[in-house]
Structure 1
Amino acid sequence: MLDERIIDQEELFILWSSFNCRSPQLAPDGPRLNFDALTDEQSFSMFRFGKDDVLRLRTTLGIPEKIICKNKSVSSSLEALCILLRRLAYPNRLADLVTIFGRSEPEMSLIFNSTLDFIYNVHGDKLTSLNQRWIQRDLQTLMNSVDRLCPLQNCWGFIDGTLRPVSRPSQYQETIYSGHKRTHGLKFQSVMAPNGLIANLSGPYEGKRHDAGIFRESNLANDLLRNMNSPNGEPFCLYGDAAYPINQHLLGPFKGINLTAQELEFNRQMSSVRQCVEWGFNKVSKLFAFLDFKKNLKLYLQPVGKYYLVGAFLTNCHTCLYGSVTTDYFGVVPPLLEEYVNNL
């Protein structure tokens, strides 16, 4: 897995703001965000969640009533969550958010990163372990939904990798450069369930890595072996593309040039249902467009991998509340937000 060698962004930003005379630290005297005055449409546009659901998300995530930053700046849990969601929702500059939140750029940077760290540290395991109650409880429903659309009866999800472009770094450029995609970036491995949730997300890895190598390093095979078997020992499997190795918990298309008509038909049907992984990647990027604007993502100055992992987790929260293209396609209802976040 990639070592990002993260420089402390908050301290760097404060120093830069203090000493750069062309861009002095702002001291806004305007009003703070009046959340109660927002309409539901404005809340969706700014934060990607309705007003009531922003409050529900704050409570469910267990964000502390006060967020206290390194420089002793204090923010309420609601303001901190709104800053995080607004920052991720669109490739804003911090200066663009000053008029919305009435805070200086360094303050918002600190609040954003403190809230990001809290969600990552407290809820990051929802994306890294298959030992989640919603998976075990809904496993048969997930497999039945796949079985209705393709020949596999024991498939409960789909696996694929994605490359998330980042700004070209000043060093170690060849490590994160993907010759296939012709861009610098970080790779993530995702398992998409038919209910629209990202059941597992592993990364970041160097952009040049192959999907098969990432699968071996991710330890997902051991997680599948521990958690994805019936009481009588029959395996439940994932389906991936031709890049992945074949074993009892991971299947892929038939390979070769002399395939029978039945094998070709199997590949065609499975290719159609496997596209839900791409829908999952697209939802993360469209919902939180900041994660898809590579000029804003500077690898050695920001925790870019953490940005994407938290964005994916919040996308799952969004799916629990509003569904997704994948839930409509397979006809499976995701768990309630509280069930997903609190592992109920």
Structure 2
Amino acid sequence: RPKLSGTRIRPAWLRSLSDRECIWHFRMTASQLLELVEALQIPETIKTVSCYCFTGTEAFALLCTRFRIPADQYLLSTMYGRGQSAISEVVNWLVKFLDERWKHLLDWDHENLLSHENLRMYGSAVCNQGAPLDTVFGWPNGTKFLTCRPSQHQRVVYNGHERAHCLKFQAIVI
């Protein structure tokens, strides 16, 4: 087992980071992260099934950084001084907590904004602007999702620019 190292995430450590560093780690500044912990009503102390204890701030910061980078949990454990299983458990716990606590705001709007009729209308509007298809209604941000090298057909998922095997989605269709 590798030795755990890195810095535990605490409010004082977050405040010691520059805004630029904090945004790189968590996609938000320290003050924004701390405000969100309070606004989302994340408990001050979280105890997972395996009895790992986290502060709400540390758990939310780990969730943000876990969603921010496509790296494995080993990298996070070396950066933030927590075991891979502990990080996995707290991220899963917090996702379930946020989904349960805020589900009334996270519901998929399939009856109005994203109804089948409206999706067809969006696709037609895109087509009317010169797109070759009438089923495209959105575009993701271009993030590449790294994959393992497949044993067959690896050229299909190889990205020469990134020099890695990955998936990249160009459009969302009906």
Q: TM-score, normalised by structure 1?
A: 0.36
Q: 3-state SS of the aligned residue for 1:240?
A: helix
Per the alignment, do residues 240 and 86 of structure 1 end up closer, same or farther by CA in structure 2, a change over 3 Å counting? Answer: same
Cα displacement string for residues 25-77 of structure 1 (whole angstroms, at most 9, x for unaligned residues): x5525542322221110111111112221112211211111111011111001
Give the Cα–Cα distance (whole angstroms) in 1 for the partners of residues 74 and 126 of structure 2: 53
Out of 9, 13, 16, the position equivalent to 1:37 is 16
SS in 1 for 2:75: helix
Offset of 1:275 from its aligned partner? 9.9
Separation of aligned partners in 1, 2:73 and 2:89: 11
**Residues 107-256 of structure 1 mapped to structure 2, 5 A cutoff:** 107-128=86-107, 200=109, 220-221=110-111, 224=112, 239-241=118-120, 253=124
Quote the Cα distance in structure 1 between the aligned partners of 2:126 and 2:56. Answer: 50
SS at match of 2:138: helix
Shift of 1:268: 1.2
- Secondary structure at 2:102 match in 1: helix
Matched residues in 2 for 1:270 and 1:60: separation? 43
- CA distance in 2 between counterparts of 1:99 and 1:79 reads 15
- The separation in 2 between residues aligned to 1:65 and 1:28, in whole angstroms, is 24
Alpha carbons of structure 1 residues 270 and 60: separation in structure 2 relative to 1, 3 Å = farther
**Match for residue 100 of structure 1?**
79
1:60 equivalent in structure 2: 39
Q: How many percent of aligned residue pairs carry the same amino acid?
A: 21
8 Å contact kept, 1:27–1:103: no
Alpha-carbon offset, residue 87 of structure 1: 0.8
Tell me if the contact between 2:5 and 2:78 (Cα under 8 Å) persists in the aligned partners.
no
SS in 2 for 1:239: helix
1:49 aligns with 2:24: no
Matched to 2:84, the amino acid is E
* Distance in structure 2 (CA, Å) of the matches to 1:277 and 1:100: 39
1:293 pairs with 2:146: yes
Is the aligned partner of 1:278 residue 2:138? Answer: yes
Q: Which residue of 1 aligns with 2:57?
A: 78
**TM-score, normalized by length of structure 2?**
0.66
Gaps of 5+ in 1: 1-23, 130-199, 201-219, 229-236, 242-249, 254-264, 296-344
1:28 aligns with 2:17: no
Higher-Rg member (1/2): 1
Contact 1:27-1:104 at 8 Å conserved across structures: no
